[in-house]
Amino acid sequence: MTDVAIEVENLSFGYGKTPILERVDVAFPANRFSVLLGRNGSGKSTLFNIMAGLQKYQYGSVKLMGKERSKMSFSDCARVLGFLPQFHKSVFPFQVKDVVLTGRAAFSAFSPKKSDMEKVGQAIEELGISHLADRPYTELSGGEQQLVMIARVLVQNPRIILLDEPTNHLDVYYQTYVLEKLKKLTENDLTVIAIMHDPNMAFLYADQCYFMKDKTVVTPTEAFDYHDSNFLEYVYDVHFTTVQVNNKMMVVPGRKIN
């Protein structure tokens, strides 16, 4: 089954006695751009942290390209999966190329090789930020910083990239920029899975959307697809009006339910 990148089966997780995830079943297809949506606190970030290996799990299974996650070492995992966490701040004004270079740390233990530098060059070229290479990371705008962090994940040469809210705090220009680049990455044999908040941006760019509600991943019943306003109302607790724009379904939020 190579067409599934990450398969989560019957996963339950909680901090102490507070359950965060309950019986999650979801399979993310390979070489696609998948987006995970849902309300704050629905468990999206926890599911991501578990898939990325930042959080241990006991009940259920998570398979990366067919291999059980909990049995993989940190560096084995780094060969398969790259992860972009939600918040990243740097105190020290490292140059962009040095920040990107740290993405190779799992492969070159004590000092980076020449091939590592070349990979950095390729990654920032691919994302169109070569002109920023010598700038201090701390002086960049939020959108530029996000692209640098994506480049840092890319230099790992992973098969799967997880991004926790990659478009957060970005203006429309950079949202579009980042999503277009992510979409393009899936053409090069990469699986991209992202958490997003804006359903319309997700509908515009994603190949597939997944929704979390009440600690688990929910799928619309056969009759409705996820553009259906009833289903979205169930997920977000907000009334939606659907509109058709250039053959694409868009939603406009209305009053909140209760």
Partner 1 sequence: MRKVLTGFLIYGLPIPLLLYSLTVGPSQGLVFADYWDWGKAALNGGIHENSTKVYMLNNIIENVRLPRVLLTFIIGAGLASSGGALQGIFRNPLVDPYVLGISSGSAFGAALAIAFPLLHINVMAFVLGVASVIMTYSFAFSNNKSSIVAVILSGMIVSGIFTASLTVVQYISDPYKLQAIVQWTMGNLHHASWDKLNTAALPVGIGIVGMYLMRWRLNLLALGEQEAKAVGVNPTADKATLVALATLTTSTSVAAAGVISMYGLFIPHLTRMMVGPDNRKAMPANIFFGGSFLVIIDNFSRSLMDFEIPIGIFTMLLGAPFFLFLMKKNKINWV
> What is the residue type of 234?
Y
Q: Please choose, out of 82-90, 185-193, 211-219, 242-250, the segment that lies near partner 1 by the rule CB under 8 A.
A: 82-90
- Measured from the CB atom, the residue of 116 and 211 that comes closer to partner 1 is 116
Whole-angstrom Cα distance, residue 75 to residue 21?
Answer: 26
For residue 63, what are the contacts with CB-CB under 8 A and spacing of at least 6?
A: 4, 6, 7, 8, 9, 69
- Measured from the CB atom, the residue of 85 and 220 that comes closer to partner 1 is 85
Whole-angstrom Cα distance, residue 227 to residue 249?
Answer: 7
One residue of 71, 92, 223, 258 binding partner 1 per CB under 8 A: 92
Fill in the per-residue mask, 111 to 130: x = in contact with partner 1 (CB under 8 A), - = not in contact: xx------------------
Q: How far is CA 228 from the centre of its chain?
A: 24
Q: Does 91 bind partner 1 (CB under 8 A)?
A: yes
Three-class DSSP category at 58: coil
Decide: 148 and 100 in contact? Cβ < 8 Å.
Answer: yes
Q: Does 75 bind partner 1 (CB under 8 A)?
A: yes
CB of residue 16 vs partner 1: minimum separation in angstroms? Answer: 10
- For the chain, where are the alpha helices, taking DSSP H only? 44-52, 74-80, 96-101, 114-126, 142-154, 172-185, 199-205, 229-236
Decide: 97 and 104 in contact? Cβ < 8 Å.
Answer: no
Q: Does 88 bind partner 1 (CB under 8 A)?
A: yes
Q: Does 17 bind partner 1 (CB under 8 A)?
A: no
Question: Nearest to residue 198, comparing CAs of 221, 232, 224?
Answer: 232
Sign of CA dihedral 188, 191, 196, 198: positive
Q: Does 135 bind partner 1 (CB under 8 A)?
A: no
Q: Does 77 bind partner 1 (CB under 8 A)?
A: yes
Fill in the per-residue mask, 144 to 163: x = in contact with partner 1 (CB under 8 A), - = not in contact: --------xx--x-------
For residue 87, what are the contacts with CB-CB under 8 A and spacing of at least 6?
A: none
Q: Does 132 bind partner 1 (CB under 8 A)?
A: no
- Measured from the CB atom, the residue of 109 and 245 that comes closer to partner 1 is 109
Angle between helices 114-126 and 142-154 (to 10 degrees): 130
Q: Please choose, out of 106-114, 118-126, 215-223, 242-250, the segment that lies near partner 1 by the rule CB under 8 A.
A: 106-114
Q: Does 12 bind partner 1 (CB under 8 A)?
A: no
CB of residue 111 vs partner 1: minimum separation in angstroms? Answer: 5
CB of residue 164 vs partner 1: minimum separation in angstroms? Answer: 10
CB of residue 256 vs partner 1: minimum separation in angstroms? Answer: 32
- Measured from the CB atom, the residue of 16 and 223 that comes closer to partner 1 is 16
What is the full DSSP assignment across 134-157?
Answer: TSBGGGS-HHHHHHHHHHHHHTT-
Which residues in this chain contact partner 1 in the complex, by CB under 8 A? 52-54, 74-75, 77-79, 82-85, 87-95, 98-99, 101-106, 109-112, 138, 152-153, 156
